[in-house]
Amino acid sequence: MGILERIIKSDTSVNSFKKQVRNVLGFSPGKSVLYKTALTHRSVKDGADENNERLEYLGDAILSAIIADFLFKKYPYKDEGFLTEMRSKMVNRNQLNDIAIKMGLKKISYFNKFDSSLKMSQIFGNTLEAIVGAIYLDKGFDKTRTWVMERIIQPYLFMDDLENLEINHKNKLYGWANKKGKNLEFETLDEKIESGRRLFTVGAVVDGELIAQGKAYNKKDASQIAAQLALDKLGLGKVEAEEE
């Protein structure tokens, strides 16, 4: 292949990538390499400058600041505890992962599609945070804030629903156990390395009986998943919680 053919092929590839990004994010990227890195999981690129973990770190901070600013202005008379809880509801892993998938990020992300554990993980929420980091570096803070408002908050985060949403499943399960006089513990059942990351399995144990177990890349998320599954298994739905 000659130099001209390689240039044409390269340009076509870049244009195709930009079109994909524009279709999902709603704008054309200025620095394509930032977005390609943001969409690349460590399961396919291990180098710190090649995968999205550094951009995820940055995007997490930027997104949190934008959400904090939004809540501070929306609820001028609410205290710190309410604002902190609302921010947690808006940026928790499950929430961001769902938004990322609905947005279409899964379709254009680069990850090891043969790794079954990744299909059940929250990597697309992490990718969304990395995208926020990329937009910040590419477009600046003001345009990032506008994009977050128009593409994340307005279409996916409904404040009335979030105000009534209970996300701390462990606290709810502990409350039930205390009321019933039962002993509840969360035990680490397994810990292993998958795709270069430590995967934890945590069980919700009531009076010595394993009720449910959850898997995640940190113990906190794994225990929340286990608690949620235990609540479902025990029939502790929303109606019962409201009656209590």
What would the pLDDT profile of 191-203 be if each residue is shown by its tens digit? 988 767 788 899 9
pLDDT tens-digit profile of 207-229?
A: 999 999 988 877 877 888 888 88
Higher-confidence residue of 142 and 215: namely 142
Q: Which residue among the candidates 56, 85, 129, 221 is catalytic per the annotation? A: 129
Is residue 127 within 8 Å of residue 39, measured between CB atoms?
A: yes
Top pLDDT among 89 and 55 is at: 55
Question: Which CATH number fits the domain 3-163, given the four candidates 1.10.1520.10, 3.30.465.10, 1.10.1530.10, 3.40.50.300?
Answer: 1.10.1520.10
Query: Is 53 a catalytic site residue?
Result: no
50 is catalytic: no
- pLDDT > 90: percent of the chain: 49
> Could you give the C-alpha distances from 29 to 4, 11, 19, 39, 153, in angstroms and in order?
25, 15, 9, 13, 21
Q: Which segments of the chain belong to CATH 3.30.160.20?
A: 169-243
Is it true that domain 169-243 has CATH number 3.30.160.20? yes
Q: Where in the chain is the domain with CATH 1.10.1520.10?
A: 3-163
Contact 32, 53 (CB under 8 A): no
Give yes or no for a contact between 135 and 32, defined as CB atoms under 8 angstroms apart: no
Confidence band, pLDDT 50/70/90 cuts, at residue 237: low
Which tens digit of pLDDT belongs to each residue from 4-32? Answer: 344 334 455 678 888 999 999 999 999 99
Q: Which of 5, 11, 50, 60 is catalytic?
A: 60
Whether the model clears a pTM of 0.85, i.e. scores above it, the answer is no
